[in-house]
Amino acid sequence: MPDHSLTPSGAERGQKTTLIGIAVNFGLVIVKATAGVLGHSYALIADALESATDIVTSTFVWFGLRVAARKPDENHPYGHGKAEPLAAILVSFALIGAAMLIAVQSIQNIQTPHETPKAFTLLVLAGIVVIKELLFRRMNQVGAEVDSSAVKADAWHQRSDAITSLTAFIGISIALIGGPGYESADDWAALLASGLIVFNAYHIFRPSFGEIMDESPSGNWRSEIEAIALTIPGVEGIEKCIVRKTGFEYFVDLHVEVNGNLTVRQGHAIAHQVKEAIRDQKPAIYDVLIHIEPA
């Protein structure tokens, strides 16, 4: 089996980005919780809870990336790549759990009169939105560059936190502008945020689940692979091309049509040329299994 699994640079970049997210969220949990308690804002406290789940889920992602980066062994001949989308699925479940907790507490607070949030909480929330959006963009960029569903899932978790903070900002603003009678606007904002979090959870879950189920990857993988194979002398057609993604890497099953009068040795040589050409032009492809068919 070829030995050009996940490059250390890709695995390390994903893990490093995830650790940065954990450190940032740890600081934000303290800031949000403190400001929420002192500023009488449940939306901000709910936001702190969301950041706390960010720490837990980012830890899942970090661990999943470490496992996915391991090389194939006797018990895992296809590598450990499935750990990466599994980590992303755990992130989506954690998001749904956090959203349910926020929704229940928001409804309880709407039914219970409480003080209007303090104005200084708006400044805290504005800063949090900026920090979270910048963190999302950085993590999403790295996730796209290393083609990691787990890192991209973690990035969207950061954006869901930014959305939660933004809705809290709007709710508190309404409560402050409206005055007496509008205190619950803060809680309605938290309730709205829980719905947005569930939406983001689905956005994370769907592609990760598809990867676990060996769903065909998005993009033009099939047509590009077939085009490469057809450039090899002796290849007369492509009968079948199947592509699946496992973690950071891709596996290809290819049925290549050649002249039926060729010897086994000649067909074997053509298959090797096709395999080498595909892997040279598509480094993300870990292995190509080629079956020779008579044209």
* Predicted confidence (pLDDT) per residue in 165-196, tens digit: 888 888 888 888 887 777 778 778 778 878 88
Alpha carbon dihedral 48, 53, 54, 57, in 10-degree steps, equals 170
Ordered structural domains, the chain, with CATH: 8-212 (1.20.1510.10), 221-294 (3.30.70.1350)
3-state SS class at 248: coil
Rounded to an integer, what distance in angstroms lies between the CA atom of residue 180 and that of residue 186? 13
Q: If phi over 0 gives left and psi between -120 and 50 gives alpha, with beta otherwise, what is residue 200? A: alpha
Q: What is the Cα gyration radius of the chain?
A: 25
How large is the average pLDDT for residues 200-209?
84
Beta bridge partners of 241: 254
The answer to whether residue 43 scores a pLDDT higher than 90 is: no
Question: Phi first, then psi: what are they for 155, rounded to 5°?
Answer: -65, -45
Closest CA to 65 of 141, 9, 135: 9
Question: Could you read off the pLDDT of 115-160 as tens digits, one per residue?
Answer: 778 889 889 889 988 998 999 998 888 888 877 777 887 888 788 7
Average pLDDT of the chain to the nearest whole number:
84
Rounded to an integer, what distance in angstroms lies between the CA atom of residue 178 and that of residue 184? 11
Closest CA to 6 of 213, 146, 168: 146
Question: Could you read off the pLDDT of 69-85 as tens digits, one per residue?
Answer: 788 788 888 878 888 88
pTM of structure:
0.71
Rounded to an integer, what distance in angstroms lies between the CA atom of residue 209 and that of residue 212? 5
Rounded to an integer, what distance in angstroms lies between the CA atom of residue 33 and that of residue 31? 6
